[in-house]
Amino acid sequence: MKFFEDCEGITEPQGFFASGVPCNVMGKNNGKLDLGLLYSPRACTAAGTFTTNDVKASPVLYCMDLLNDPKQNFHGVLANSGNANACTGKQGDLDCVKMASETARHLKVHSKEILVCSTGRIGVHLPMSRITAGIADACQDTLEELDGGKAFQEAILTSDTRTKSCSAQVETSSGKVTIGGTVKGAGMIQPNMATMLAFLSTDAAVSQTFLQQCLSGAVEQSFNRMTIDGDMSTNDTVLFLANGFSRVNIEKESKDIISEFKTAVSRICACLARKCVTDGEKVTKFVEIQLHGASSDRDADKVARCIANSLLVKSSWYGSDPNWGRIVDAAGYAKVGLDFERFDLWYDDIPAVERGQPLPANKPKWKEIVSRKSFVIKIHLNSGSGSAVLWSNDLSEEYVNYNKSE
Amino acid sequence: MKFFEDCEGITEPQGFFASGVPCNVMGKNNGKLDLGLLYSPRACTAAGTFTTNDVKASPVLYCMDLLNDPKQNFHGVLANSGNANACTGKQGDLDCVKMASETARHLKVHSKEILVCSTGRIGVHLPMSRITAGIADACQDTLEELDGGKAFQEAILTSDTRTKSCSAQVETSSGKVTIGGTVKGAGMIQPNMATMLAFLSTDAAVSQTFLQQCLSGAVEQSFNRMTIDGDMSTNDTVLFLANGFSRVNIEKESKDIISEFKTAVSRICACLARKCVTDGEKVTKFVEIQLHGASSDRDADKVARCIANSLLVKSSWYGSDPNWGRIVDAAGYAKVGLDFERFDLWYDDIPAVERGQPLPANKPKWKEIVSRKSFVIKIHLNSGSGSAVLWSNDLSEEYVNYNKSE
C-alpha cells in the first residue's frame, strides 16, 4: 500500500471532482471559502456514520434517511461551514432539501442523489439566498472539472488551523484503486461550533454493504477513539463514496487484497483522526492513552475516557506535569472495580507505578516525556484482557478564553 | 428553626470542642493550620457518607470500616490537610491507625473511638513524626476546652479561599438542640488535591440508624448535587457526630419536631454545599441547574450533569455568554431520548427556548442574567415527571493555569 498525507484527498481517486467557494454563510464578508462540493459524474454507493447525540442537526437526519435505502445511489455531497443547521426546526429540514435540490438541478441529477452536511453555529437559520448563489458557483467549478480538492478542504474548516487530508493506493489483480479522505476539526472553533465532518472517496467498485462495513470498522478504531473536550456534537458525520471508476471490484479480489483495502480505509480514518486531535482547539499536546487488562473492552474504554476527559488531568498535561495521582483518581471514578494494588502505569516506556507502588526514581524521566508534544500513557489494570486506545490532548487557558463568548 | 452562617460551626452544639494546629504536613514551614481535631468528652453516635471512587484513600477505608459496626461509639475526628494519604499502600493504612491511636492515647479514649480524615496530595506518605507532634498539640488544646471551632475550619482548608460554616437550632418539647457543620472545598487547590470533607455535629441524642438516615438523605440533596469539575476524589467524606449532650432524644419527639430536625440537617448540608461551589477553584459564578420533565429522576440527573460538566458550557458561563446551543448539545449527549421539539429553557425566569423554538427577542435579558454572579438555568424536557437540581460553576482560564503543574 502507498500512503500520502497533505494531498488532494477526496479527489485523488479517479472520477471525483470537488470545489470550494465563498458564499458568506456567517455574514462576515471575509471571503472565507465556506461551501464545498464533492461530485462524481458516475453514480456512487455510499456509507455513513453519524453522531449519536439525541439532538441531531437537520442535515444529519437528512443523510441518515437517504442512506437507509441500500439501493440509493449518489453523485455528491454538499457541505457548508459557519452554520450547523441544528435546532432550526422544520425550516432547517426544508433548507436541507433545498440545498440538495438546487445542487441536483445544476448537476442534472436527482435530488436524492446529493448528500448534505453542515457545521457551525447552532440555532440560526441558514442564509438560503447566499447559499443558493454559492451552490451555483460550486457546481459550475466541479462541472468544469477544476482540481478543487484543496478548496473543498478549506471550505469545510471552522476553527481548524489547517486543512487535513490523506490518500492510499492499493494494487489489485485488476489494477490500482485509490482512497482519499479529508476531515474538519473536532475542536470548537467558535461558540456553538462543535462538529467533526469527514469525507472519504474511492474509485473502487464496491457494494453498499461492504462499504458500510469497511467504514464502520474503521470509524470505531479512529474517529470514535478521539476525545478533545468530551463534548459530542449535533452534526458529526463521516461519509464514504465509491464510484467504481477504476472498474476494480474489490469484493471479487483475493482475501489479502480485500484485507489490504480495509486496512487502507482504517489507516486513512486513523490518520485523519490524529490530525483532528492535533489540530484541536488551542491544543499544545497529543496524548495516546493505551488501556490494558480491564475486564472488558468496554470497561477499558470507560476508564480511558474518564482519564482523557478529566479537567485536572488535561490541565496537568498542559503544564507538562506527569501527575499520576490525578490519572489514578480519574481511573477510579470510572467505577469498573479498579484495584490499585494491581495498577501499572508507564509514560512512554518508563514505568511510573508498578502494582500500586510509585517509582519516584524515574520521575525526572516522566517529566521529560510529558513535556514533549506527543506522548503515550500506558496503563495495565491486570484484571482481564479488555483493552482500549484513546487519542486526546491537553486543556489550555487559551481554550477557555477562546470559547468564553461569541 | 434558627439558622446561622459563618459561626463556630461544629462547636456550636454543646459538649463539642475543637482545635486546629500547624504541623507542617507539606514541609513548607509556612505556619498554616493543617491538623484539626473535633472532640466530644461524651461518647457520640456517628454517621458517614464516602466517595464511591474505586480508589479510596486509607482514611476513607478506615472510617467506613469503623462505621460498619452500628454499636461503635466515637469521641472525635482527626483531620489533616496537605496530604490525602491516598495510593499510599499498607504504609498508608498503618499511618491511619497510628493517627487514631496517638489521638486516643492523649484523649484517654479507645483507639477505635477516633475517626480520621485526610485531604491533599495523592501518592505521598504522611510525615508521621510531624503529625504525631501535631496530635499532641491538638489534643492539649481540646482538653483545655479552648474555643477552636474556627481553628478547625482553617486547618482542613487546602485551596479554599475562606472557611465555611453554619449551624441550626431546633426547639423541641424537651429543650433546644443545635446542629453545626463545616466543610472544605470541592475545588482542587493544589495539584493532586481533590477532596471534599464535611463535618457535622449535634448535641441531640439520636440512634446511629436515625443519624445515618438524616445524613444520607441530606447528602443526596446537597453534596451529591454539586459538581465543580466532574472529578470525583479518592477522599470525599461527610461525618456527622451526635453526643446527646442536650439530653433531647429527637426520635421520641413529635413528627413535626423530627421533621424539623431532618430539615435542619438538610439545610446545613445544602448551605455548606453551596458555599463549596461558590468557593470552587478560581470560580467566578454559581449556577443552579433545574431539570424537569425527564422520564425519571435518574435521567434528569444525567442531563443536568452533562450540562454542568461540559467544558464548552462552563467556558461560556465564564464569558457571560448564555449560549443555549451548547446547553442543548450537552443535554443531547446524555442520551436519555431528548426530543428537542419539546425542549423548554429559561435563564432565571426569562424563557429562551420554548418547545424547541428560540425566543431571540429575549436575548438582551438572558445576556444580562448570565453576566450575574449567580443565576438559575431551568429546563423542561416535557417527557415525564423526573427532576433534578445541580449546583455548578464556570470554568476560568485561571483554573487551568492554577492546575497545570505542581
Residue-wise pLDDT tens digits, B146-171: 789 999 999 998 877 888 899 999 99
Choose between B402 and B212: higher pLDDT.
B212
Terminal Cα-to-Cα distance of chain A (whole angstroms): 45
Banded model confidence at residue A120, pLDDT cuts 50, 70, 90: confident
Please give the average per-residue pLDDT across A372-401, as a whole number: 89
pLDDT number for residue A335: 85
pLDDT number for residue A193: 37
Question: B35 Cβ partners below 8 Å, 6+ apart?
Answer: B20, B21, B22, B23, B25, B78, B79, B80, B81, B131, B134, B135, B137, B138, B155
- A23: burial class by Cβ within 10 Å (0-12, 13-18, 19+)? buried
Cell for A263?
486496512
Interchain contact A27–B (C-beta under 8 A): no
Interchain contact B57–A (C-beta under 8 A): no
**For residues B113 and B135, what is the distance between their CA atoms, to the nearest angstrom?**
15
Residue A205 pairs with which residues in a beta bridge? A249
Length of chain A: 406
**For residues B56 and B236, what is the distance between their CA atoms, to the nearest angstrom?**
9
Distance of CA B189 to the CA centre of its chain: 15
pLDDT number for residue A115: 94
**For residues A207 and A219, what is the distance between their CA atoms, to the nearest angstrom?**
18
pLDDT number for residue B135: 98
For residues B170 and B260, the answer to whether their CB atoms sit within 8 Å is yes
Residue B270 predicted with pLDDT over 80: yes
pLDDT number for residue B179: 94
Cell for B251?
426520635
Which stretch of A38-42, A355-359, B67-71, B181-185 has the lowest confidence by average pLDDT?
B181-185
**For residues B336 and B171, what is the distance between their CA atoms, to the nearest angstrom?**
45
pLDDT number for residue B191: 31
Question: Where does A10-52 show beta strands of DSSP type E?
Answer: 17-21, 35-50
Choose from B58, B158, B233, B311 for mutation: most chain A CBs within 10 A.
Answer: B311
**ipTM above 0.90?**
no
CB contact under 8 A, B397 and A395: no
* A:275-304 residues touching chain B, CB 8 A cutoff: none
Pairing of the two strands A374-380 and A286-294: parallel
CB contact under 8 A, B403 and A194: no
Question: Where does A67-218 show beta strands of DSSP type E?
Answer: 74-83, 114-121, 165-172, 175-184, 197-202
**For residues A93 and A84, what is the distance between their CA atoms, to the nearest angstrom?**
12
pTM for this model (two decimals): 0.81
Interchain contact B325–A (C-beta under 8 A): yes
Please report, as a single letter, which amino acid is at residue A134.
Answer: G
CB contact under 8 A, B122 and A358: no
Residue B279 predicted with pLDDT over 80: no
CB contact under 8 A, B325 and A395: no
Share the mean pLDDT of chain B.
89
Please give the average per-residue pLDDT across A371-397, as a whole number: 91
Please give the average per-residue pLDDT across B221-250, as a whole number: 82
Side-chain half-sphere CA neighbours of B2 within 13 A: 9
Please report, as a single letter, which amino acid is at residue B209.
Answer: T
Banded model confidence at residue B185, pLDDT cuts 50, 70, 90: confident
**For residues A98 and A62, what is the distance between their CA atoms, to the nearest angstrom?**
11
pLDDT number for residue A231: 65
> Of all residues in chain A, what percent are helix, strand and coil, respectively (each to 5)?
35, 30, 35
Q: Which residue has the cell 430536625?
A: B261
Question: A100 Cβ partners below 8 Å, 6+ apart?
Answer: A62, A78, A111, A112, A114, A115, A116
* A:182-221 residues touching chain B, CB 8 A cutoff: 188, 191-192, 194
Choose between A69 and A226: higher pLDDT.
A69
Shortest Cα distance from B384 to chain A (angstroms)?
A: 17
Question: A210 Cβ partners below 8 Å, 6+ apart?
Answer: A250, A251
Is A51 among the residues known to form the active site?
no
**For residues B284 and A48, what is the distance between their CA atoms, to the nearest angstrom?**
42
Domains belonging to chain B, first-starting first, are: 2-278 (3.60.70.12), 286-403 (3.10.20.340)
Per CB-CB distance under 8 Å, the chain B contacts of A86 are 325, 329
Please report, as a single letter, which amino acid is at residue B369.
Answer: I
Residue A17 predicted with pLDDT over 80: yes
Please give the average per-residue pLDDT across A138-157, as a whole number: 92
Which stretch of A188-202, B155-169, B262-276, B326-340 has the lowest confidence by average pLDDT?
A188-202
Nearest to A325 among B122, B310, B400 (CB): B122
3-state secondary structure of A220: helix
Per CB-CB distance under 8 Å, the chain B contacts of A405 are 316, 319-321
Please give the average per-residue pLDDT across A72-97, as a whole number: 93
**For residues A111 and A105, what is the distance between their CA atoms, to the nearest angstrom?**
7
Interchain contact A306–B (C-beta under 8 A): no
Banded model confidence at residue B406, pLDDT cuts 50, 70, 90: low
Q: Which residue has the cell 499511618?
A: B95
**For residues B152 and B138, what is the distance between their CA atoms, to the nearest angstrom?**
10
Banded model confidence at residue B188, pLDDT cuts 50, 70, 90: very low
CB contact under 8 A, B397 and A401: yes
CA-closest candidate to residue B330, choices B202, B200, B227: B227
Cell for B159?
485551596
Q: Which residues of B form the catalytic set?
A: 195
Terminal Cα-to-Cα distance of chain B (whole angstroms): 45
pLDDT number for residue B229: 63
Question: B385 Cβ partners below 8 Å, 6+ apart?
Answer: B293
For residues B18 and B36, the answer to whether their CB atoms sit within 8 Å is yes
Side-chain half-sphere CA neighbours of B98 within 13 A: 16
